Amino acid sequence: MKAAVYSLLFRSYKLEDFFRIMQEIGYKAVEIRVHEDGVHLSPFASIDEVRVMRKKAEDYGLEICCLSSYARLGRPGDKGRQELKKAISVGRLADIAGAKVFRIKITGYKPEIGYEGIRKLFREQAKELIETLKREGVEVIPAVEQHGGGDLAHSTGILKDMLRGFEPEDIGVIFDPGNAVKEGWLPIELQIDMIKEYIKHVHVKNYEWSKERPGEVIASPLSRGIIDWRKVIDELRKIGYKGYLSLEDFRNIPPEDRAKEALEFFKSMGIS
């Protein structure tokens, strides 16, 4: 396994500054946020933009392990087609960036469409995404992030149901147990067991229960909190996971401090 940092943590920094800081701290891989807000990389960036970004990362001794988009599959009509188009574009860019995976998301629950309706739309769109990228010779694969809140994919049970029948070589999961502490929680061993063949990338963060607001959580260091990250890493080793552990720590302290602290924790687990 290798340590990485998600550029969302440094969203107020230019990408080159982010790369420089990562090199100085000692990281060898980064995950790049893809968004249309003018920060970092657009999902419709040009090939030249991505090539320049990759070259800058390489100049700082960094590998781009993932492009994280906000393309949500499972929506109907024109919006669904727009989101699929966005996902295809990000897949092409991720391939040029040299990434192993790129993030896609599942839309949120809509009672008027229903779970089965969303599942059907997601699977149809995911199939088209995979087939389109294969036709174009794109090797990077999409990975659905485990995420609650505005997404339906908070449970590994839901993820398994959405992906059942798809080949793990064609589509994967970004395992993110921190996103399941309020919605979709299952024992860590069960979470990993359910989706083990699909885990292609891991987001790393931790939370603890708020004393002031019962039922709410606050960001915490990796070494303490609801998630036992030492156990998670041990379980990932058992299934032979050799991918990236990408930091996504949202505590209200400087991002440099979060990245340094996390790297020390990773190193204590034999990961660098």
pLDDT at 37: 79
Residue pLDDT, tens place only, 151-197:
999 999 999 999 999 999 999 999 999 999 999 999 999 999 999 99
> 241 and 1 in contact (C-beta within 8 Å)?
yes
- What is the domain-level CATH number for residue 138? 3.20.20.150
Count other C-beta atoms under 10 Å from residue 114's C-beta.
Answer: 11
pLDDT at 40: 79
pLDDT at 227: 97
The pTM of this model reads 0.96
pLDDT at 36: 84
Q: Which domain does 191 fall in, by range?
A: 2-268
> Based on the structure, what is the number of domains in the chain?
1
For the chain, give the mean pLDDT.
Answer: 96
